[in-house]
Amino acid sequence: MAKNGFPGWHGTTIIGVKKGGEVVIAGDGQVSLGQTVIKGTARKVRRISPGGYDVLVGFAGSTADAFTLLERLESKLEATPGQLQRASVELAKDWRTDKYLQKLEAMLIVSDGQELYVITGAGDVLEPEHDVTAIGSGGNFALAAARGMMDGDKSAEQVARDAMAIAADICVYTNGNLTVEKIKS
């Protein structure tokens, strides 16, 4: 249940994979309200280009909250062009300390092709240890599947797609309608 007692929008799976000179962020398209699938084709992965600088963003959690964070990240990137880490840390600081932002329920995976981070409302900017990260209700399933494929010959995109297919088979809040964005290192 959401904080107000109304069953919240729940579930998604977002994965970020860095391999072979590219980063791929993929997300499923399912939006659920309680135990009901409301939409199966949502787009939870975006490419933003503040000042011509491409950044991929995938989000899990409340859509309105995620879009608020996306806008804030974009303005941080405009203020610090080409500095994803600095913009991410500034966003996490604001998110942690601003009374309005503290109420937001979402997580982000971001990448500029060089760096790959998870940003949380707890003030975390996390860089994955094994060049793969995942968030959302099916995130742990996708993460485990991708980690098992990272040493093989598959491309970053194929690892992400195959891991998402495994997560969709296991997690009822994840479907196989993917949005995939990639960026070269």
Catalytic residues: 12
User: Cα-flanking dihedrals φ and ψ of residue 143, to 5°?
Assistant: -60, -50
Q: Which residues contact 55 (CB under 8 A, 6 or more apart)?
A: 47, 48, 49, 73, 77, 84, 110, 111, 112
Answer yes or no: are the C-beta atoms of 140 and 102 closer than 8 Å. no
Q: Where are the beta strands (DSSP E) in 75-152?
A: 106-111, 116-119, 125-126, 132-136
